[in-house]
Each structure stands twice: as structure tokens, then as C-alpha cells.
Amino acid sequence: MGLHKIIKILALIISIIGIAFLGMMIMKGDAEIKETAAGIDGFIYTSYFIFALVVIAVVIFGFKGLMSGNIKNTLIILGAFIAVVALSYGLADGTPMELTDDTMLSESGSKWVGAGLYAFYILGAIAIASMIASGFKKAK
């Protein structure tokens, strides 16, 4: 039996389990779920299981691709990503902030949130620039 068939059968089983938990939640009703949160445990555990499967598949196939490909280019790209994160962390402001629930976000937490935003902006700009450059190369 091929990997494709196994994945299709596993997806069907997980889908049926998810539908059963959804049906149980619908039968309980909105009021009971809002008051007691009863019935959502199975639905949440199903999503955790699916998330774990996806992470495992990404790690396995990522390492498989890494070992069969050019490791030098992979390490260069990984180093560039780490440099972007380090630059973003250096640019981020670590000012403590008050959150909506009247708690304080620490200086470190604020700095990491800012670093994540800066990294997103930098990587987004790089992606847009590479798409524009690719368009110009194809136009030639």
C-alpha cells in the first residue's frame, strides 16, 4: 500500500472523528458550551493531533530534502535568516507595555514582539523585491 493511500485513509479517519466531535458540540448547544466549555476537549485534542502530524511531516521531509540537496546553500539561507532575526532584535524597542487585561508585558517580551514585527517587515520586503526582480528577468 502506497503512502498516498495511507494518508488518504488517515485523513478520512481524522475527518470522521472531527465531525463526530463537532456534532457533539452542536447537540450540547451554545449556552452550555459558553458556560461550561463542555464538549470542546475532543475537538481541541483532534486539532492538536493534526498539528503534531503536520509538524512531524515537515521535520521528516525537511531533513530528507536537506540531506538530498545542497547543504551549503541551505546553511547560507539559514545564516541569512538568523542575521535578519538578529538585526530585527537589535532594532526592536524593549519598552514595557500595559496589556488590555491590565497586566504588563515585560521588557523582554516587548522586545521579542518588536523583533518579530521587524523580521516580518524585512522578510516581506525581500519577498516583494525578489518577485519584482523575477518579473523583470522574465520580461527580458
Domain that holds residue 13: 1-69
Whether residues 124 and 90 fall in one domain: yes
Three-class secondary structure of residue 91 per DSSP = helix
Q: What is the pLDDT of residue 1?
A: 67
Q: Please give the mean pLDDT across all residues of the chain.
A: 87
Which has the higher per-residue pLDDT, 30 or 85?
A: 85
Using one digit for the tens of pLDDT, what is the confidence trace for 40-89?
A: 788 888 889 989 988 998 888 888 877 777 788 888 888 999 999 999 99
Whether residues 120 and 55 fall in one domain: no
- According to DSSP, the residues that pair with 61 across neighbouring strands are none
Confidence class for position 118, pLDDT limits 50, 70, 90? very high
Does residue 11 carry a pLDDT above 80?
Answer: yes
Whether residues 6 and 16 fall in one domain: yes
Three-class secondary structure of residue 98 per DSSP = strand
- Give how many domains the chain has, as a whole number: 2
Q: What is the pLDDT of residue 21?
A: 85
- Which segments of 30-121 are extended strands (E)? 97-98, 104-105
End-to-end CA distance of the chain: 48
Which of 55, 123, 129, 119 is closest to 92 using CA atoms?
Answer: 119
Does residue 124 carry a pLDDT above 80?
Answer: yes
Whether residues 32 and 76 fall in one domain: no
> What is the value of pTM for the model shown?
0.58
